Amino acid sequence: MLIKKLAIGTAAASLIAAPVVAQTAPVTGESELGGESITPAFIVLAIGAIGIGVLLLTDDDDDDAPISA
C-alpha cells in the first residue's frame, strides 16, 4: 500500500513539474516545420494516405467467417 501511494505521489509531482521545466528550457533554434519548407508535412500525409489506402484495399469484409460453437 505504501509503494502504491509513493508511486502515485511521484507521478503527480512529475506531472506538476514537467510544464515548469519545459517553460524554462532555452530555445536554440526555430522549428523545421514552422518555416519555409512544408515538405516534411507532405511526406507524413503521403505515408498516412498510402497506409489508409492499403488498409481499405486489403479489407475483405468477410461476414461469412466460420465461428466455433
pLDDT tens, 19-66? 665 565 566 665 555 556 677 778 888 998 988 888 878 776 666 667
pLDDT for 52 equals 86
pLDDT for 37 equals 67
pLDDT for 36 equals 62
pLDDT for 42 equals 84
pLDDT at 16 over 60: yes
C-alpha cell at 49: 494516405
- Cα separation of 18 and 13, whole Å? 9
Per DSSP, helices labelled H in 24-68 are: 39-58
How far CA 12 is from CA of 8, 25, 63, in Å, comes to 6, 21, 47
